Structure 1
């Protein structure tokens, strides 16, 4: 087969330019390029066909210039987690036909230059899309951030913000399974209903209907909060600091309320760290990938036993990705948004 016969068209979503302030659909461009369906010899790369792509707040942060070392360059495909099938491999640990999940790009075909950060999928008796959510990065994030940073104990009082999102819904279920009292906040009455009646939270509230976050937290935590699983930042974090119990723990997983702001909101109640001896720590999932096998075994067991559930919103077509990401930040998506690029 000559080179021309190995080339195919490759639909992509590209970053127009670095993004400052609110993300807009026009910051992302649908384009069609050409991809060579072979991994270069000696590269140890793999060539994959993307099946599902995750729609995560993390992708928004990668659109900022100078975000760690991982910023997406203008004119390049949006980066994000996904599920894919290996079409060609120059890496000894991956073979043609393997199903994998990990960091890929918003395109039909991707050349993965560092497949060491890709995970093989061996358990296919659950939906493949779950590997963008409960069995993928959000699930591992929920597990490692909660159990490693929060030091939870049975009977602890836990508050989860953005609780109906991909990470929040999983954290709450892990906490309930170990005997914590769990309250979540979300941005609509429908999401509040899901938290209480689908995910088993003890209580939940619609933060958009609460003019005073401090008063709301005192209503649900009259004796204070032991653990805050932070996903939003800003005014909610400020109110939480007033309601933490002595020696409370705050795990900072995300701050979605701040990502579209050119100037981040300040936090004013920091003195509580001193008098309440609060511990607050940031979390990056890449430092905890060694926990994935243990996490996967436990979570698969819970899913199969019906002890954990997961809600996702399957969105058809790569071209729908930009609008889905905008709707995610606007709070218009329930659960985990997943883009279906191709058939399994």
Structure 2
């Protein structure tokens, strides 16, 4: 585990974080501007020193105030990727990638990183001729080629426009799947986190609010106040089961045994998928509809009813065979249907509501 227990005074804000992050996959650090995200990642990398506490990467201490341990950045073996690529303008892409490589340089390692990040055609170009997304891919490659024990990424997509973000996200997804090292990914974008992260740490005003597996944090009461009505959603784990013989639809087998039809052709049967179901696209009924155009009608139990900032709407927390499923409905519907916790209902989910951004490959 990456064990973090640090305190540092940041002006009027006290950064006070205690958390354990896994040593594989992507751990996202989420919070609004000024929450202390960048300060935390600088502390992890040795670019800043806490007032007290400890940081341990596996069985190795990076910092321990009581034991007087404070490894400098070059001894922590961490790879950095910042908001701006920070490439050397007088080096070609090849030179930037090779900068900082340690010991015996293996060409196979270089080729693997270049292929992973799609840099083959860029090797002889200078940074001034690259797009923002291309620069960030080079910066990621340079960090990986230092053979880090941990990769620290501080809002690497924040300075990019939407098309460049969409260009870079698939590379980050491949990176997370193919490299067996912990990645700490700082972001204030929930969409990025949903597409990349396995674990999530939420920081508010310097304080760690909650930390845990992404689905667990996403469903938590601590996170829901941060989400707008449009962002309210559920995360479901599934496996690609089959494609429809006549229509561009795929059946996903949820981990709880239920099935979900989506309007995508996903041919890799057995592949693991994370599905985001928006709460605004879930409706409920007290009896199973007959002759409905909606493909996904699933039996659920109403667990709780939560008020929202909009007094005309409420949130329903449903149980779908042991998996949480959220729905936003009007208060009028709540009263008219006389819904109470424990009620057996049917949830209707529109398959057409699921987009590429909502289907994340695990």
**TM-score, with length taken from structure 1:** 0.23
Of structures 1 and 2, the larger Rg is shown by: 2
Kindly indicate whether structure 1 or structure 2 has the higher relative contact order, using CA contacts under 8 Å at least 6 residues apart: 1
TM-score for the superposition, normalised by structure 2:
0.23
Which of the two has greater strand per residue? 2
